[in-house]
Structure 1
Amino acid sequence: MQTGLDRFFTDYLDLVRNRRVGLICSPASVDVVYRHAADLFAACPAFRLTALFGPQHGIRGETQDNMIEWEGWARDARLGVPVYSLYGKTRQPTPAMLADVDVLVFDVPDVGTRVYTFIWTMALAMQAAKAQGIPFIVLDRPNPIGGLDIEGAVLERDWASFVGMYPLPMRHAMTVGELARMFNETEAIGCELHVVPLAGWSRPQWFDTTWLPWVMPSPNMPTLDTATVYPGMVLLEGTVLSEGRGTTRPFEIFGAPFIDPYDLAAALEPLQLPGVHLRPMWFQPTFNKFTGQLCGGLQLHVQNRATFRSYRTAVEILKAIRRLYPREPLWSQPPYEYVFDKVPFDVIAGQPRLRAAIEADADWADIAQADEPALTDFCRRRADYLLYEPRSA
């Protein structure tokens, strides 16, 4: 198993030879023996590293959700190159940032969920590369939750934001390289795109079958277990409920002070949600929502990830909470990710239909049926850009 970073230095150096290179990376941009991409780029004599760019959470991964990083730029004291934030005053490399860059390289691990902002940083950087007339290279990495299963509604364009610019479902089952190929053509970005593909990865593989090292891609994505539940449980960011930030198991743990965990577990038990056990518990977040307050809630213990569906699980949880506590406010208010005029839950869901369905206690079969036409269209569009077998998935 080799990532795009692992293959770059052996098979693809001609793409950057004797050129000035800008690198978009995060703390998780490491090779198979934990060497960071920035160090490898800086040490390579075939080209010159001239700029580093960091996505949300900072190039060191130190900032929490929705925290704006420092504005402007700094200089990496060890490598001696400028470092720019792409989650500050701008989310896209500016012409000034790219003045000393001949080629822009993207090596940021993704987690397979539409609202994870790194893929949108990639899309904006591709647009900037096109505008400046420079090539854009994606060093591909596995989708950690596999390349087969697709979940959730497809984003509607009227609800585009930095947690969803283009029409993807919540769980898209594509790699960053495949997404770049699709964005470049279907969204008419039209940059000079090169994808350095993975070697030895197939679509059914989850991250823990690759033997690659897991490094936290962001502060609240500590483990593959987190990524497993994230495609559905991220919906709770748009509610007043704690999604477990400020605990040691974000997104696996959720709740609020007004919830009786045993009542909630009993309300969900008849559904026999596949692949997961919902355990009643209490917790006290150390930051974020309900800091220092005792919350009742549940922890998701995924027992069979082949049958577990995070999106449906989250929807059923929200429906049950609405039934049990109809007088409690559930939905957060704007803003969310700089969207000031829309309900945050709808921005995350990518459309307002899901919130209305939860309020109406609609059956899951009806919710899924409403999403089916757009999902079918997405699967048709997606097929042309898949790089790894089985391509018919």
Structure 2
Amino acid sequence: MTKYFFRFSALFILASCQGNTVPQFRIHPLDSKLTPSSEVFYNEILPTLSGKKIMLVTNPSGIGNNPARIIREFDKYKVTLEHLIGLEHGFLGLEEEFSQTPVTMDTTFNRPLYHIYRIKDSDLKDLLKEVDYVLFDVQDVGMRCYTYVSVMKRLLDGIQNTKTQFVLLDHIHIAMHLPPMGEKMNPKNLNFAGEFPSLLISGMSMGESANFYNQEYLKGNAKIKVIPVTGYKRELYFEETGLPWFTPSPNLPMVESARNYLSLVLLEGVNVSVGRGTQAPFVYFGAPWMTDPEDLAKKLSQLANRSYYFTPVFFKPTFGPHKGKICSGLRMNLVSPDYDPMELAYELIRLMKDTYPKDFKWNKGSNNHWVDQLWGNENFRVAINSGKTYKEFHETYSKTEADEKKRIAPYLLY
């Protein structure tokens, strides 16, 4: 009996130990050692703004996820909410398209909502003169083409050499582990999704970008206060921080979408759907003409180094390219964030073009190709058309990346 008792006990202990080794894919917020900038703002900064007028720039990825708290806390400290700035996807982050009018009325706060991409710079400057502080709090993804950084630039341009101060609540984004990547914007391709003077992947948080822009381009003439995320170290991936993901737009509802966006956003320069208007934007991509996606998946698997893989999928987008049509395509399954998103974007489009030469097309706008506006110049598209490997293409701008890494180093907070 003793022999069986000890054998059973040993098995029980072994089973218990195995149960405790279940992998933890995310850190629970209760276990996080970081303090979000929003809590620092409410506890330490807001009480100092008593009697001041505020222009608020936020959405549900920032303090805009709790409008009731904003109203309550502003009233508590007698802070006046003078103006709201509308971002690309609206105050509630639900809009797929840009507002067609410069100003709408927000029913939550009963305040005018000024859509910054519709109003004139002179009108924006007049609005900025009416407030003491601009409070800016939105989640970004660390890319020039994500328009929230363009909004920040326009606001900083508007407050330079004025008394208006800029308070930015910083966020940790999904590309914090990456250095600057890509190329600079050619002025002829300048657009709202490319105004900020960084490489395609900036290598900076929003707060770091604000300080960088102020010193490098405004000669320090904007009054900026950045509230960092307390306790963050740059080597931590977002999933390791314990910070919850608050959706910054309808097309990045989850961390997986945001991570995939780093590569798949360049697919918006070709005639495929990136899953906008589906349950998995920037996870699904495809087109009605992509008849053998499994073949493309096999070719891509040779590049992945087990960091990601692709599986066939069918979907019907309700928004964007191929709206209402059944698309066959691929789902991007991310295993590890430790990969080169620029290489994946390049090879994915190159292989797509080689696999479907009759159907593949570069999307063209009124003045130039859309991928040129995303990448910043025509080099990405021209390199693929000329049959260059990614290594050959990357060698043409690797020095630009190295120089940019040195240039932004003094502004890094983490």
**TM-score (structure 1 length as normaliser):** 0.89
Cα distance between partner residues in 1 of 2:68 and 2:234: 25
Cα distance between partner residues in 2 of 1:343 and 1:195: 36
Deviation at 1:274, TM superposition (A): 4.4
Which of 182, 187, 201 is matched with 1:153 structurally?
182
Asked if the contact 2:181/2:203 (under 8 Å) is kept, the reply is no
One-letter code aligned to 2:286: G
Is 1:318 matched up with 2:349? Answer: yes
Partner of 2:44: 11
Asked if the contact 2:301/2:309 (under 8 Å) is kept, the reply is no
CA RMSD of superposed structures (Å): 2.3
Q: Give the direction of change, closer, same or farther, for the CA distance of 1:43–1:14 in structure 2 (3 Å limit).
A: closer
SS at match of 2:309: strand
Q: Give the direction of change, closer, same or farther, for the CA distance of 1:79–1:327 in structure 2 (3 Å limit).
A: closer
Is 1:348 matched up with 2:369? Answer: no
Deviation at 1:151, TM superposition (A): 6.0
| Identity over aligned pairs, percent | 28
Describe the superposition over 1:82-141 as per-residue Cα deviations: whole angstroms up to 9, x where unpaired. Answer: 322223344786134335311111111112222100011001011111254311111111
Larger Rg: 2
Partner of 1:279: 311
Structure 1 gap ranges (5+)? 335-339, 389-393
Cα distance between partner residues in 2 of 1:40 and 1:184: 32
Is 1:294 matched up with 2:326? Answer: yes
Cα distance between partner residues in 1 of 2:411 and 2:102: 35
SS at match of 2:286: strand
Asked if the contact 1:276/1:300 (under 8 Å) is kept, the reply is yes
SS at match of 1:82: strand
Partner of 1:337: none
One-letter code aligned to 2:211: R
Describe the superposition over 1:29-74 as per-residue Cα deviations: whole angstroms up to 9, x where unpaired. Answer: 139x95677435533415322222121111121211xx23152434
Is 1:42 matched up with 2:74? Answer: yes
Describe the superposition over 1:165-188 as per-residue Cα deviations: whole angstroms up to 9, x where unpaired. Answer: 244232223211100000111122
Q: Give the direction of change, closer, same or farther, for the CA distance of 1:200–1:352 in structure 2 (3 Å limit).
A: same
Asked if the contact 2:144/2:200 (under 8 Å) is kept, the reply is yes
One-letter code aligned to 2:380: L
Query: Once structures 1 and 2 are overlaid, which stretch shifts more, 5-14 or 235-244?
Result: 5-14
Asked if the contact 2:293/2:312 (under 8 Å) is kept, the reply is yes
Partner of 2:339: 308
Q: Give the direction of change, closer, same or farther, for the CA distance of 1:358–1:40 in structure 2 (3 Å limit).
A: farther
Query: Once structures 1 and 2 are overlaid, which stretch shifts more, 373-382 or 362-371?
Result: 362-371
Is 1:129 matched up with 2:155? Answer: no
Is 1:51 matched up with 2:83? Answer: yes
Deviation at 1:314, TM superposition (A): 1.8
Cα distance between partner residues in 1 of 2:300 and 2:355: 11
Describe the superposition over 1:320-356 as per-residue Cα deviations: whole angstroms up to 9, x where unpaired. Answer: 111112222421110xxxxx42211100011111101
**TM-score (structure 2 length as normaliser):** 0.84
Q: Give the direction of change, closer, same or farther, for the CA distance of 1:58–1:90 in structure 2 (3 Å limit).
A: farther
Q: Give the direction of change, closer, same or farther, for the CA distance of 1:209–1:53 in structure 2 (3 Å limit).
A: same
